[in-house]
Copies of this chain bind each other. A is one copy, B any other.
């Protein structure tokens, strides 16, 4: 047990996973350079260039190769350097990896893990910060994991590598190094598909994932000081959705606010709202609120903080929800 950042926790998980000979790592600049965020640092030195593979600059090539490797018995972990570059590999993600199992009637499957740093707030050029997980949630066959803490990052990554289905593992780059916590040194897994109730509460529910989990804890605490009890749910996995946890919470609190860093329209917040309005509408005393990015491409650095959800926008939403009885 020791204090680790998310980068350290992931790096450690990779070292431990690679003890299995069938695990290989591939991507742009992952080997010699150890990744542009140093997440894969040291792995090539330990496991060699045949298992930690610098690839040519071609995302479709990376994912397509990983799919083929997985069909032939390996468990490849592919890195997409920044999540906005996944569009280049869209077909291999959505029409190939996700469909290998049913297409081959179960003879083959594609147990790949696609790791990628994503998300807002570190003043990157465009297409480095987009949160486009919803695109993949509309494409059944893939699981999408988005941890918000070092503990979960390590445990979920090890679970993803063991998982028999393709997993998109999204790493919150804005909190890569800023969040630290005690993380076991040995290997362990956290179950994919289970949300975590970060803070139990009774007056309203906030559902979120990724970096907002961190700052929303303060928002929730503030409310607590004022006698308002907010339940904070960290989805951790956005596909498949842990709808039972969400519905149970809403049945209790009667008020729902969804917070995410993606574009609003057709974000995963839309699906959550739709499911709740289908399954628990009679529990609600007010509208379902979404505090999200705006309906534009993720913007340039100087305005990203205005674009992202923030405590003040969340409080406005919650305050309104609390007016309903």
Is B94 in contact with A91, judged by CB distance below 8 angstroms?
Answer: no
Stretch at the interface among A72-80, A126-134, A189-197: A126-134
Cα A270 to Cα B262 in complex, Å, equals: 15
Is A281 in contact with B278, judged by CB distance below 8 angstroms?
Answer: no
Cα A273 to Cα B269 in complex, Å, equals: 11
Stretch at the interface among A26-34, A37-45, A96-104, A164-172: A96-104
Residues of chain B within 8 A (CB-CB) of A94 are: 87
Contacting residues of chain A (280-294) with chain B, CB-CB under 8 angstroms: 281-282, 284, 286-290
Is B281 in contact with A277, judged by CB distance below 8 angstroms?
Answer: yes
Is B297 in contact with A288, judged by CB distance below 8 angstroms?
Answer: no
For chain A, the bracket of interface size reads 35 or more
Contact A103:B126 (CB < 8 A) given known A274-B270, A281-B288:
yes
Is A278 in contact with B271, judged by CB distance below 8 angstroms?
Answer: no
Residues of chain B within 8 A (CB-CB) of A159 are: none
Q: How many copies of this chain sit in the oligomeric assembly?
A: 2
Cα A95 to Cα B268 in complex, Å, equals: 20
Residues of chain B within 8 A (CB-CB) of A127 are: 95
Is A266 in contact with B126, judged by CB distance below 8 angstroms?
Answer: no
Is B286 in contact with A138, judged by CB distance below 8 angstroms?
Answer: no
Cα A138 to Cα B126 in complex, Å, equals: 17
A81 vs chain B, min Cβ distance (A): 14
A239 at the interface (CB under 8 A from B): yes
In-complex Cβ contact of A281 among B140, B263, B271, B281 (8 A)? B281
In-complex Cβ contact of A274 among B137, B138, B141, B269 (8 A)? B269
Interface pairs A-B: 6 shortest CB-CB? A273-B274, A90-B90, A87-B91, A138-B266, A270-B274, A277-B277
